[in-house]
Chains A and B, each alone.
Chain A
Amino acid sequence: MEPDTVGGGGETETAEPPAEVRTPDGDGPPAGAGHPGAGSPSAAEQAASEERLAAEGAMARDAFAQTQTGAEPEADPEAIAADIISANTTSRNQRGGRPPVVTVNVEGIATDIVHMSRTQPELAGAVYTAAAGQVDAEQLEAAVNTQLQNEHLADASLLGDATPEPVDADVARAEAERLIEAHTSTSSTRRGTTRSVLDVNSMSYAVEQLAETDPSLAVAVRGELTGMVNADQAADMNRILSGGATWQENVEIAFENPVDGAIGALKGIANGFSAVGELFVRGSVMQSSAEQHQAAGWAALFGNDEMAAAHTELAEEMHDLAMTEDFVPEFGLDNRAQEGGETIGFVIDVAMAGKGIITGGAKVLARNADELAEAGARLSDEALAVADDLGDDLLRLGDDVPVGTHRRTAPDPADLDQADVDRFGWNHEQARPDLAEGVGTARADAVLDGEIRLPDDGDLGIDFYVGDAPVSLKGPLLNSATGNPIPINDAMVDGLANSVLKDMRLNTATDTIVVDTLGMTPLQRERLISTIETGMEALDEVKTVIYLE
């Protein structure tokens, strides 16, 4: 099952009464019907459960997971396996009458079966066997193993070097209930229903924080939580706790914990993301213009009070380090909030370097505090926009899609299908492919939603179509005859940026430009993007730009 969006951690939408996560035996709401020790549900409970589940039609798999905790002994594993597979199968129609693309989410199937195994191990085993006969058995086994390994790794991570100690089960259960309640938000919808959202990411971070003071209790709480929340939420939590949090999830935690987030950002800079780091660790904190801008950016992100607290805490840590001539700062990151803060600091740093603020030394862009704050806020917005758009979802193009700027990570050329490269780069006149544009088009194909087709000879100015959307391709900077990398200098980066701006000004045949930055250093990439964005400000009409990294 794909992880939920950052911070979302899984949503349920129900009719009144509000949806509730499952709770332990005998306590709280009846959603845990059939939980071990609870016995068979009463008729009234069963009716209530059925009514609630009927309202959760859209969340079929979650409903399934709940009903299965109260399954009859004679439940049909084959039918259950079929239901699980169906709930984890999607079908996407294609253009041109071609058969739909059917995708089976084996990880989702594994998640459901592992979740079931906690309450009904025998039935889960039979369902696993049945499912293995209908999907790729090796993939399913690997996915189940990953789920189980994550639980093991999560406990090992929480425990650290500590020796496990006995924990009162009631205490662990109560703490788990408290965490669920503390990290669940409830709101009413326009249809009169109640929407409850458990923020798995922040709840997981709370478990991590608990582990710092009482690792054994944290391990026990993790076990309780795994049985209380739904399958997807449990899988997400165990993935995060086993060290598998994404950087986006860490950034989310950094914002929720601004002091640690700011510390992480400062540590990241001090650890050498930019020349500012050296000034910083030598005590010239926030004195140059560039540093002030950076401080303004952070303050806008984390808040001035939090920044002050971060400086104080970090100063104490710095005090223990020798400030010698060859001092090399190396701050460790203590938690995920600091890791997220480091990422934020890096993004701001790169964004500013790309604008020449840092690389240009003491270039003064702001003349007073208001301008400084405004500049900081603007940089923060841009940094967040960059961070927000570093997703991996396919981009859809078309007349109904608003103009925007996107960044996507495209496959390495070695991972591309050479037949695609040759086909996309083929030139009839020369009777050979231009491998540079073949690589660029094949990389674009990997991040765009829809089929790529090449234009007719008469379609001047159009490099390829995605569906019906005409697209311009700029870059990559490769040897077009061999496809091999070439040395890239700033003049070439600027030339590529100018060609993008020229295309916006003069080429009316396309609405989208794919810019392949393959082979560029991070600074060259940011220089390119900065030059393009600055140039776009002077244009009356701009196009959607997709940067491939």
Chain B
Amino acid sequence: MAHSILEYGDRHITMRDMELTAALEALHAAHVGDPAPELAFLPAFMSSGMLHITGGIDPEFGTHLSSPEAQAAFLDLIDRTQATAAAGDPVVGHLAKLRGLISGDTAA
């Protein structure tokens, strides 16, 4: 069960690759349906080979969220994705981990 370490600022979390991939794919689907200009990097990231780095997903992902606008847009995207997820879908929990990393709110 390969793990990737995601860093954002001085915070980091560890997630299993398949969980992280599932979360990013859900976010990407929500973004395509209602794109936010601040997250224009997301489709390019998803189609790059970065998702295929076993144990190393997220190289530089956090740098795309360095502006407050991008950070806010990403958190909003997470919220929208969680809201439309099916009941009991484990991706909700994975998105919550991502949210905690970006927002700094570990209770999220």
Contacts and interface: CB of A to CB of B under 8 A. Distances in A.
Contacts of B48: 491-492
B56 A499 contact: yes
Given A480-B17, A499-B55, A502-B7, A463 B50 contact: no
A437 interface: yes
A477 B52 contact: yes
Interface string B13-31: 0101111011000000000
A477 B18 contact: no
A427 B53 contact: no
Interface string A466-478: 0000001111111
Contacts of A460: 3, 14, 16
Nearest to A441: B2
B104 interface: no
Contacts of B14: 460-461, 506-507
Interface stretch (A69-77, A267-275, A481-489): A481-489
B62 to A, nearest CB: 12
A480 B49 CA distance: 11
Nearest to A499: B56
A474 B56 contact: yes
A516 interface: yes
B5 interface: yes
A434 interface: yes
A477 B14 CA distance: 19
A454 interface: yes
Contacts of B106: none
Contacts of B12: 502, 506
Contact of B17 (A434, A455, A462, A479): A434
B81 interface: no
A3 interface: no
A473 B18 contact: no
Kindly name the residue among A437, A478, A489 whose own CB sees the greatest number of chain B CB atoms within 10 A. A437
B1 interface: yes
A489 B52 CA distance: 12
Nearest to B59: A495
Nearest to B7: A502
Interface residues of B, number: 26
Nearest to A513: B55
User: How large, as a class, is the contact surface on chain A?
Assistant: 35 or more
B11 to A, nearest CB: 11
Contacts of A489: 49
A440 interface: yes
A478 B3 CA distance: 15
A461 B3 contact: yes
Given A430-B18, A499-B4, A494 B54 contact: no
Contacts of B56: 474-475, 495-496, 498-500
Contacts of A13: none
Interface string B31-48: 000000000000000001
B50 A495 contact: yes
A504 B53 CA distance: 17
A472 B17 contact: no
A326 interface: no
Contacts of B53: 474-475, 477, 492, 495-496, 499
Interface string A499-513: 110110011000000
A473 B54 contact: yes
Contact of A437 (B2, B7, B19, B60): B2
Given A460-B14, A506-B12, A507-B14, A480 B55 contact: no
B85 to A, nearest CB: 14
Contact of B3 (A463, A480, A491): A463
Contacts of B16: 427, 460
Contact of B1 (A437, A479, A487, A495): A437
B59 A480 contact: no
Contacts of B19: 429
Nearest to B21: A480
Given A429-B19, A488-B49, A495-B59, A477 B54 contact: yes
Contacts of A463: 1-3, 55
Contacts of B17: 434, 437, 480
B14 to A, nearest CB: 5
A478 B53 CA distance: 7
Given A429-B19, A474-B55, A480-B21, A440 B2 contact: yes
Given A499-B4, A499-B5, A502-B7, A434 B52 contact: no
B18 to A, nearest CB: 5
A488 B19 CA distance: 23
Nearest to A430: B18
B5 A503 contact: yes
A499 B55 CA distance: 7
Given A434-B2, A460-B3, A499-B4, A429 B18 contact: yes
A436 interface: yes
B55 A475 contact: yes
Kindly name the residue among A434, A502, A516 whose own CB sees the greatest number of chain B CB atoms within 10 A. A502
A108 to B, nearest CB: 40
Contacts of B18: 427, 429-430, 434, 480
B61 to A, nearest CB: 10
Nearest to B5: A502
Nearest to A474: B55
7 contacts: A429-B18, A461-B14, A473-B54, A478-B54, A492-B49, A495-B60, A503-B5
Given A434-B18, A437-B1, 11 more contacts: A427-B1, A434-B17, A436-B54, A460-B14, A472-B55, A473-B2, A475-B55, A488-B49, A495-B59, A495-B60, A507-B3
Interface of B: 1-5, 7, 12, 14, 16-19, 21-22, 48-56, 59-60, 90
Closest 9 CB pairs of A and B: A499-B56, A495-B59, A474-B55, A437-B2, A436-B54, A427-B18, A502-B5, A492-B49, A496-B56
